[in-house]
Each structure stands twice: as C-alpha cells, then as structure tokens.
Amino acid sequence: MSAAPRQRDKVLALVRDSLEPLDAPVIARALDIHPTTARFHLNALIEDGAVEGTWLPSQTVGRPRKGYVAVGADPAAALLDALLAQLGDTAAERQGKAAAAGRVWADTLSTPEVEATEVPDPVTVVTATLARLGFQVVSTISSFGDHEIRICNCPLRRVARNAPEIVVGIQQGFIERVLQRHSPLLVSQYRVEVRPDTTGDCGVTLRLLGNSQRADS
C-alpha cells in the first residue's frame, strides 16, 4: 500500500473520531502535514463519499472556515430524529415550535445596540449574522422593497434531511428575532419566508417581504 492511502486513512480516522467538524489546518497540525496536503486528502475523501464539507463560524472578520465531518458518523442521529419528532404530530406543529427555538437561539447572540428609531439595512443585518454562524451567503437580490438572500452549507443540514420543516421553522424564527433585536421597526416592516431548495441541494432562499407583499401571501 502506498503512503498516500495510509495518510488518507489517518485523515479519515481523525475526522471520524472528532465530535465536531474539523478544518484542514487543525488536521494538518495533528498529523504533522501541510494544510494543502490535508485538503488534498479531504477532497479525495469527499469524492469517495466518506467525508462531507460544512462551513464553520469565522474566528476573525472574514469568510467562514471550511470544515469537514464524516458521513454517517453520528451515532446519536436516530435519537436526534426521535427527539425532534416529539415537537408535534404534524409538520406545521413542529415548524411552529422550531420557530420558537430559533428565536431563543437568536437571543444567545450579542447584538449591537441601536436606537429604536433607526432602521438598519435588513440584508446587511441578516447576512452578517448568518456568516457568524457558518452559513455561506451565495447571493442577495433586492427588488421593489423585497429582498432574497440565497445561502448554502447550512449548519443544520443534517436535521434538514429528515425534518425539513424543523429547519425552516428555526431559520424563520431566528431571522425574525435577529431583525427585531436590531430594530423593532425592521420586524414590523418585513415578513420572513424560508424556501429550501426543491432539488435537494443544501441551498435555502430567505425572503424578506415588505409590507406591500403581506396581502398577496
């Protein structure tokens, strides 16, 4: 067996043994290899279907860090699904309770103080907060007072596989509370709508619908 596969096995073992996503620099230091070499093996493991990428909150100002987790490595996945199912008997019930959890999640974040009369730019507020949590903002589109924010690599994507309504609720409640905490006027001016990608991609579209759209929905 060549050295590369043996080294790749070590990379995979390290990712599998970790209780949280690892980035390439951490793996490189643990195995005493160059970060570029670590990324080479990680990309090969992704192609093999043994590892998948995610985005981690940035430790400094800037883009989120790329992290890696082992596919099917979570032994508590079945338990998590069972716990989430207890949120309600219907998808609407589970989504409603998940939205409440999303608002609580937003309350754990520090928010800059703003005057109640100030109305910050909603897109800036939302994208900056999502980036802090490891989401990757793909694009933003604004038209006639409405805003669409495309994101991917949602940290909640594992939950979304089996319970998409719960992730929709969490994201909706979270964004509503983020807007409210920055300015009460923001949450009164916009309704948050979450649209997961119907193709099964990790992509999500967050729509901030202005007052003019409330009657149409």
pLDDT top residue among 206 and 178: 178
The pLDDT of residue 97 is above 60: yes
pLDDT at position 162? 73
The pLDDT of residue 82 is above 90: no
Residue pair 164/196 in contact (Cβ under 8 Å)? The answer is: yes
Separation CA 208–CA 217 (nearest Å)? 12
pLDDT at position 154? 66
- By mean pLDDT, which of 117-126, 139-148, 201-210 is the weakest? 201-210
pLDDT at position 211? 64
**Band of the pLDDT at 217, cuts 50, 70, 90?**
very low
pLDDT at position 2? 53
What domains, with CATH codes, occur in the chain? 3-70 (1.10.10.10), 91-216 (3.30.1380.20)
Whole-structure pTM over 0.75, yes or no? no
pLDDT in tens, 45-72: 998 888 988 877 666 655 677 889 888 6
Exposure string for 143-153, b = 16+ CB within 10 A, e = fewer:
eeebbbbbbeb
**Band of the pLDDT at 119, cuts 50, 70, 90?**
confident
Record the tokens describing residue 132, joined without a space.
Answer: 């802090």
Residue pair 169/99 in contact (Cβ under 8 Å)? The answer is: yes
